[in-house]
Amino acid sequence: MQDNKKALKKQMSQNNLHFNKALGQNFLTDDNILDGIIGAAELDKMVNVLEIGPGAGALTTRLAHGAKKVVAVEIDTSLIPMLSDTLSRFDNVKIINNDILKIDLKKLVEDEFNGEPVRVVANLPYYITTPIIMKLLEENPGFESIIVMVQKEVADRLSAAPGGKNCGAITYSVNYYCEASRVVDVPPEAFVPAPKVWSSVIKLVLRNSAPVDCKDKNHLFELIKAAFLMRRKTFINCVSNSKTINCDKETLREILNKLNISETVRGEALSLVQFSQISDEILMRNL
Ligand code: SAM
């Protein structure tokens, strides 16, 4: 690992490059963790990969060895010449210099992978982890799985069971779209520069069908978001104050009673099925 760190620092300085903190540039230098990510991706020459933030290309190189085709989206223009040079020996890698949040994923998958299934593999920039994961899930143009390094605290939330102390609104979204599992926890020393926090690699396997059958998915997610707006308040207090969910306290009480749920319940104690039932009841009453 020390050799990798030295080599990376040397490579960056030879190219007059600096680690850009604002872009979440903590590059992974631990071979075991890099191999663990590749193992979790279960690559073979039939598998296509979208990588977000290739950085100096440590993960990209391994992906190129194992996968059919790799498309790597990197926002930092200054890294592109060095990255292109590192990856020049592979004819199955394409680098796209762009912001992943601005990319039309459906178009990218059609243009670059002929609409074939794709796995996302990435050591994510931590300052935009949630928007990236939500984009991948909501736009999903046929992803089979998403294997990502995130802050450990975020991994706890993403892979929590709804109803537990670690869960938040995103727990339910992840649970709706996929099955989450933890691959490995990663100490700060595995990166250059070392971040202040521990990280974790998680694997999200996309479901073939949704686990609940709700009337309106968008309304369900708005309801969940509203329920988590104020952490220590009851579900009724949060939702009745929400601007997006049109439902007063009395109606919410009625609905919870009908569904045999306590009036003092907090959002994090509700299951996805219960959220879905409440969402349907609100929609029925708003007809
Ligand atoms: N994959 C490399 C590794 O594992 O060593 C680098 C990972 S580093 C944590 C995150 C990378 O994402 C950086 O290269 C950063 O420039 C890039 N990045 C940051 N924001 C991005 C965005 N909006 N779109 C695409 N790439 C981004």
Digit-coded pLDDT (tens) for 66-116: 999 999 999 999 999 999 999 999 999 999 999 999 999 999 999 999 988
Q: 22 exposed, middle or buried (CB, 10 Å; 0-12, 13-18, 19+)?
A: exposed
Cβ 101 under 6 angstroms from ligand 1:
yes
Measured in angstroms, how far is the CA atom of residue 27 from the centroid of ligand 1?
8
Kindly report the CATH class assigned to 217-285: mainly alpha
| pTM (predicted TM-score) | 0.93
Q: What is the 3-state secondary structure (H, E, C) of 143-163?
A: EEEEEEEEEHHHHHHHCCCCC
Q: What atom in ligand 1 is closest to the CA of residue 100?
A: 24
Mean confidence (pLDDT) of the chain: 94
CB of 197 sitting under 6 A from ligand 1: no
Answer whether 190 contacts ligand 1 (Cβ < 6 A).
no
- State if residue 28 touches ligand 1 by the CB under 6 angstroms criterion: yes
| Å from CA of 72 to ligand 1 middle | 10
Helix (H) or strand (E) run with residue 191 in it: strand 191-192
Distance CA 252, CA 238 (A): 11
The DSSP letter of residue 140 is -
Q: 161 CA distance to ligand 1 centroid (A)?
A: 29
Question: What are the structural domain ranges in the chain?
Answer: 2-206, 217-285
Domain 2-206 has CATH 3.40.50.150: yes
Confidence of residue 162 (pLDDT cuts 50, 70, 90): confident
- The confidence band for 4, taking pLDDT boundaries of 50, 70 and 90, is very high
Q: Which atom of ligand 1 is nearest to the CA of 55?
A: 14
